[in-house]
Amino acid sequence: MWGATCGVVFSFNVSTWPEALFAGKTHIDSPVGSLLVAGDDEALHYLSFPSSPKAIRPGSDWHHTDAPFLEVRRQLIAYFDGTLRQFDLPLFLTGTAFQKSVWRHLATIPFGETQTYGQLAAILERPNASRAVGAANGGNPLPIILPCHRVIGGNGSLTGFGGGLPTKEYLLQHEGVLTPSFLLD
Chain Cα centroid distance, residue 132: 18
Task: Specify burial of residue 159 (Cβ count, 10 A radius: 0-12, 13-18, 19+).
Answer: middle
What b/e string do you get for 116-154 counting C-beta neighbours within 10 Å, with b at 16 or more? bbbbbbbbbeeeebbebbbebbeebbbbbbbbbbbbbee
Name the CA dihedral angle for 68, 74, 77, 81, rounded to a multiple of 10 degrees: -170
Classify 112 as helix, strand or coil. coil
What are the catalytic residues? Answer: 148
Q: Write the CB contacts of 133 (distance below 8 Å, at least 6 apart in sequence).
A: 102, 117, 120, 121, 124, 126, 151
Residues in the chain: 185
Classify 18 as helix, strand or coil. coil
Can you tell me the distance from the alpha carbon of 4 to that of 16, in angstroms, rounded to the nearest whole number?
A: 22
